[in-house]
Structure 1
Amino acid sequence: MGTLSLSDFKEVQIPAPWGHIAGRWYGNRQERPILGIHGWLDNLGTFDRLIPLLPDYIGLLCIDLPGHGRSSSIQPGMHYSVYDYVYVIPRVMRELGWSKVSLMGHSLGGFMSFVYTSLAAHTVDMVISFEILLPRTVIPKKAVDVVAQSMERHLVEEDRQGESNPQKTPSYTLSEMTKIIVKRTINSVTPELAKHLLHRQVVKSPLSPDRFFFSGDGRVKFYHLSQMEPGLAVEMTKIIKKVPFLLIKASKSSFVGVQCEVPISMLRQNNPHFELHEVAGTTHHIHLLFPEECARYVVPFIQRHRPPSSWSLAGKEQPLCSKKIQNSKL
């Protein structure tokens, strides 16, 4: 058995009322793939180093969330919400004719996977989550201050976008963009690996050949991730007790902290297919910095819960290579 090739992909555009959801479908395009969802301010390039380590009998459809990478931004006057993002999952499923979904997410993408699974567990056959289960606990006073600041900055960004003036759009050299990505991730992504996130969000400036724009929607920076009431988290966790669920975290990470202790305990007791593994370190982007260590757990998990012998679901789902994919723009 071989592994996926990073160069064997098809660019896809999944229609949405506000435009389209952009993605790359790697590997097997005859059967339903795993759906890969990146984290906040990232894009599908976040999985670049993990993809070549995955078994080649599967397909992997990695998407850019709305406002990220090459996906369309939502309409002017609207704002981004993590809970609205969850609707992307069933939208992709409906457009491609899937009755079930396999999910792999990092950070925001992992939380989206948790929320969706708790709402529609009967449609999920597998979840792989990197560095998140529930949002981190935030001091209420600090949370209020952050939301207030974000509201004001969101309006400023909205006004700037409404002017549509390239001269007022911030432009950067590639070196400057690399530094911005490293800073955004609080040094979780190294300068050497920032290129994997840059290739989906670089747009040449029409004013200078050596300067570039970020393609993503600036409003994305100002959405907030609401804290989850512990009782609600418990009830959501109860629902996913039968869904194969793999959680991988950095050993010294604060993202999977005290707010996850009760849900993790419940999953360990009630879900025979739950796995929690740690990768040494503090970085939040463990799958990008330490793909081999992550693959050590991801590959056997996929082989157990989506083995080659059961990968084909002919007769149980609609045709998976739909005209919407076959006719998508390359």
Structure 2
Amino acid sequence: MTAGAEEVRLNLGHIELAAQLFGPADGLPVIALHGWLDNANSFVHLAPQLRGLRIVALDLAGHGHSAHRPPGASYALADYAFDVLCVAEQLGWKRFALLGHSLGAVISVQLAGALPERVSHLALIDGVVPPTGAQTDAAERLGMALTAQLRREGRPKTVYRTIEEGVRARMSGMVAVSQEAAAHLAQRGLMPVPGGYSWRSDSRLTLPSPMRLSEPQALAFVHRVQCPVCLVVAGEGLLARHTALLEQLPFTQNVLPGGHHLHLNDTVSAGLVADCFNRFFGFP
């Protein structure tokens, strides 16, 4: 359990999600969404530095201590958005803010674009829209995804002999993180199994997407957002490479030093992100 956070479980009917609560009960309602293959500990450095907010940091479905989707189901962005909406309904939040990193930022933008009347603020970290694709590639992509899904069935997870091995594996993943960040993610993400430890995340999360939006479709969500938006771009992260996209965004942008996980890699970088968001939310 993260120091200063309250652990809760939310039964949404179709799935049960785990979450951590930060901040005063009467604070501005915020749902925090982590990145792909991360978990709620993604906000361990950032959330305690944010003032005036009641933050519900979710383990997204298939991540951390949350349940996995049932057999035969997948992890579509729309399903994540529905989960978030159900969490808000259960909490009685008719209007709420979203704080999202990477995948969590993508989900946040899509939900805010789909239902702009429900979202009061968007605080985004190094993420906006999902990877896009050409419309002419749709059939080929679906075939690739279906083949990968068949091959994945029944394949065992990697087992690490020690927690330290699991941490090192996360440090050198597709998006590298610091040892400190990997250790925080491992605290919530590794589980004991025969022979050692394995990551809790659903192995189906690594399957390729069966379809991608075109760029105009992805940007349609961006242009439907009606609430104030603060986007933190990591100077050495993923978004910084997409200058053409950044130039099209009608969002306030703050470029900060650090990598894709700058809010988690160290407390100093997390403090810089917190400064941006505290000003954004009006609690400097």
Range of TM-score over shorter length: 0.7 to 0.9
2:163 is matched with: 174
Do residues 184 (structure 1) and 173 (structure 2) align? Answer: yes
Number of aligned positions between the proteins: 278
1:19 to 15, 20, 24: 15
1:212 to 191, 197, 200: 197
2:181 is matched with: 193
Letter in 1 for 2:221: M
2:213 is matched with: 228
Q: 1:293 to 1:20 in 2, by over 3 A?
A: same
Q: Note the alpha carbon deviations across 1:55-85, whole angstroms, 9 max, x for none.
A: 2x32211001100000000111112212321
Letter in 2 for 1:288: L
TM-score calculated relative to the size of structure 2? 0.87
The 1-side partners of 2:109 and 2:4 are apart by 29
| Structure 1 contact 135–255 (Cα < 8 Å) conserved | no
Q: How does 1:155-304 map to 2 (within 5 A)?
A: 155-160=150-155, 169-172=157-160, 173-187=162-176, 189-205=177-193, 207-208=194-195, 211-224=196-209, 226-240=211-225, 242-255=226-239, 257-258=242-243, 260-261=245-246, 263-264=248-249, 267=250, 274-281=251-258, 283-289=259-265, 290-303=269-282
Q: 1:153 to 1:80 in 2, by over 3 A?
A: same
What SS does the aligned partner of 1:86 have?
A: helix
More deviation, 9-18/292-301 = 9-18
Q: 1:141 to 1:190 in 2, by over 3 A?
A: farther
Q: Report how far residue 51 of structure 1 moved.
A: 1.9
Q: Note the alpha carbon deviations across 1:248-279, whole angstroms, 9 max, x for none.
A: 11224342514524541xx1xxxxxx421001
What SS does the aligned partner of 1:277 have?
A: strand
Letter in 2 for 1:27: G
- Larger RCO, structures 1/2 (Cα 8 Å, 6+ apart): 1
What SS does the aligned partner of 1:171 have?
A: coil
Q: Report how far residue 296 of structure 1 moved.
A: 2.1
Q: Report how far residue 118 of structure 1 moved.
A: 0.7
Do residues 62 (structure 1) and 53 (structure 2) align? Answer: no
Letter in 1 for 2:128: L
* Ranges in structure 1 where 5+ consecutive residues have no aligned partner: 1-5, 161-167, 268-273, 308-330
Q: Note the alpha carbon deviations across 1:150-196, whole angstroms, 9 max, x for none.
A: 53343343324xxxxxxx55321212211221222432x11232111
Letter in 1 for 2:81: V
What SS does the aligned partner of 2:3 have?
A: coil
2:76 is matched with: 81
1:90 is matched with: 85
Q: 1:19 to 1:90 in 2, by over 3 A?
A: closer
1:44 to 21, 24, 40: 40
The 2-side partners of 1:116 and 1:19 are apart by 19
Q: 1:148 to 1:194 in 2, by over 3 A?
A: farther
Identity in percent: 24
